[in-house]
Amino acid sequence: MSVLKRIEEIEAEMARTQKNKATSNHLGLLKAKLAKLRRELLTPSSGGGGGGVGFDVAKTGVARIGFVGFPSVGKSTLMSKLTGTHSEVGAYEFTTLTTVPGIVQYKGAKLQILDLPGIIEGAKDGKGRGRQVIAVARTCSLIFIVLDVLKPLTDKGIIEKEMEGFGIRLNKKPPNIAFKKKEKGGITVTNTVPLTNFDADEIKAVLSEYRIHNADVNIKEDCTIDEFIDVIEGNRIYIPAVYVLNKIDSISIQELDLIYKIPNAVPISSQHGWNFDELLETMWSKLDLVRIYTKPKGKLPDYDQPVVLKRDACTVEDFCNCIHKAILANFKSALVWGNSVKHNPQKVGKEHVLDDEDVVQIIKRI
C-alpha cells in the first residue's frame, strides 16, 4: 500500500475514533504512526524527485522573509512595492512560477524577501511544486502568509495545515520537554506541572511505536501529545508568521474591524500601499533582530549602518565576527554603552550578550 493511502487510512481511523480515556493510548499511537509516515513522504527519495530548478536562492542579508499564499492574492504586487524588485504581476493565476528574491532595507538592516509561487495545496503529501515552495519556507526566518480578504478564511486553515504537515510550526515555541534515550532502565516520565492533555501511559504507547523502550522524559509544560511527538521526531522548525490580509481596498470599514481581530494579522492593500508601516513594524518585531552601533576610538558612533545580529546570536564575539573574522585574534575587551550594561560605558569580554541599539568599541591587544 502506498504511503499516501496509509496516511489516508490512519486519518480516517482517527476521525472515527472518539477521544476518551479508553481510546487515548490508541489515538496517541495513531498520531505517532502518522508522524512517521509523513516523515517518510517528505524525505526525498533516492530518485531526487524534489529537485527542480529555480527554488534554491542564495541567502543574503541577516534574515529571510518568505511570501506564501494561494495564486493571485497579491504576493508579487507586495514584493514589488516593498523592495522595488520587479516580480511579474498578473490578473491570472500562477503568474509567478519560480522564487523571486529581493531586498528590503529597514532600520539599517538588509532583509531578503522571497516571492514564492502560489502553489500550496497537497504540498505536505508530496505533491509537485508545492512541496518545493514549503521546503523553501522552511529556510525562512519569518513567513508572510498572504491572504486575499475577499476569499474565505478557509484558505488560512489550508495553508497552516500544509505547513504543519511539513514540520513547520508557526508562531509557536519548541515544547519544554527534556527527552533522553538510555541503554536500559525502562521509561521514566516526570512532570513539573500537572498534565491535562495526556498521561504517562499515552507517552509509553507513543514511544513503543518508535521502538524506544528506555528513556527519561521530563515534561515542564502542559503540552499535547502532538507536541511530544514533535520532540521525538526532532526535525521541527519553529518560525514566526504574519497573516498579511491583502486587498482591503475592496472591503468596508465594518469588515475591516472584523478581520483586525485575527491574531498576528496585518490588513493591507499592496496596490495602494496602505498600512505598510504597520506591516514593516510587525515584521521587524517578529524578526527579533538586534542593532549594534560601532564606535571607533575617539569618534562618534556610526548610527547609519548598524551591525544587525539575531537575538539568539548577539554576543560581542558574534558582533566581531560579523565585522571581520580577523578582529577576534587581536581582541582584548570591549566598551559597551546601552541596555545590556549597568554602567556606561562598561568593559566586557567577548561572551557578553548585547542588546538592541547598544554602542560598542573594541579594544585591541597591542
Ligand X SMILES: Nc1nc2c(ncn2[C@@H]2O[C@H](COP(=O)(O)OP(=O)(O)OP(=O)(O)O)[C@@H](O)[C@H]2O)c(=O)[nH]1
Q: Which residues contact 244 (CB under 8 A, 6 or more apart)?
A: 78, 144, 145, 146, 147, 265, 266, 268, 279
Region near ligand X per CB under 6 A, out of 220-228, 265-273, 278-286, 290-298: 265-273
CA atoms within 13 A on the CB side of 138: 21
Smallest distance, Mg ion to C-beta of residue 96, A: 3
Residue 240 makes contact with ligand X by CB under 6 A: no
Q: Which of 13, 141, 91, 124 is nearest to 133 (CA)?
A: 124
Residue 269 makes contact with ligand X by CB under 6 A: yes
* C-alpha–C-alpha distance, residues 41 and 122, integer Å: 12
Region near Mg ion per CB under 5 A, out of 73-81, 102-110, 248-256, 319-327: 73-81
Region near ligand X per CB under 6 A, out of 46-54, 204-212, 233-241, 246-254: 246-254
Chosen residue from 14, 36, 37, 95 binding ligand X by CB under 6 A: 95
User: Toward ligand X, which CB reaches closer, 83 or 96?
Assistant: 96
Smallest distance, Mg ion to C-beta of residue 168, A: 21
- Are 316 and 340 spatial neighbours (Cβ–Cβ below 8 Å)? no
Residue 91 makes contact with ligand X by CB under 6 A: yes
Smallest distance, Mg ion to C-beta of residue 237, A: 24
Residue 96 makes contact with Mg ion by CB under 5 A: yes
Q: Which residues contact 41 (CB under 8 A, 6 or more apart)?
A: 3, 4, 7, 124, 125, 126
Smallest distance, ligand X to C-beta of residue 164, A: 21
| Nine-digit cell string for 37 | 509516515
Class of residue 61 by CB neighbours under 10 A (exposed 0-12, middle 13-18, buried 19+): middle
Residue type, 293: Y
Residue 96 makes contact with ligand X by CB under 6 A: yes
Residue 296 makes contact with ligand X by CB under 6 A: no
Chosen residue from 85, 95, 208, 275 binding Mg ion by CB under 5 A: 95
In the range 296-325, which residues lie near Mg ion by CB under 5 A? none
Q: Which of 123, 144, 141, 140 is nearest to 132 (CA)?
A: 123
Collapse the DSSP code of 119 into the 3-class scheme (helix H, G, I; strand E, B; otherwise coil) and give the result.
coil
Residue 99 makes contact with ligand X by CB under 6 A: no
Smallest distance, ligand X to C-beta of residue 56, A: 19
Cell 506541572, residue? 193
Strand partners, 260: none
> Which partner in Mg ion, ligand X, none is near 99 (CB below 5 to 8 A by kind)?
none
How many residues touch ligand X (CB under 6 A)? 24
* C-alpha–C-alpha distance, residues 41 and 6, integer Å: 11
Tell me how many degrees the CA angle 128-129-135 measures, rounded to the nearest 5: 115
Residue 76 makes contact with ligand X by CB under 6 A: yes
Residue 11 makes contact with ligand X by CB under 6 A: no
Smallest distance, Mg ion to C-beta of residue 100, A: 8
Chosen residue from 8, 11, 40, 93 binding ligand X by CB under 6 A: 93
Chosen residue from 250, 285, 305, 339 binding ligand X by CB under 6 A: 250
User: Toward ligand X, which CB reaches closer, 69 or 175?
Assistant: 69
Annotate 180-236 with DSSP letters as a single string.
Answer: EE-SSS-EEEEESS--SS--HHHHHHHHHHTT--SEEEEE-S---HHHHHHHHH---
Residue 108 makes contact with ligand X by CB under 6 A: no
Integer CA distances (angstroms), 90 to 44, 71, 96, in order: 32, 10, 9
User: Toward ligand X, which CB reaches closer, 25 or 282?
Assistant: 282
Binding positions for ligand X, rule: CB under 6 A:
69, 71-77, 89-91, 93-96, 117-118, 246-247, 249-250, 269-271
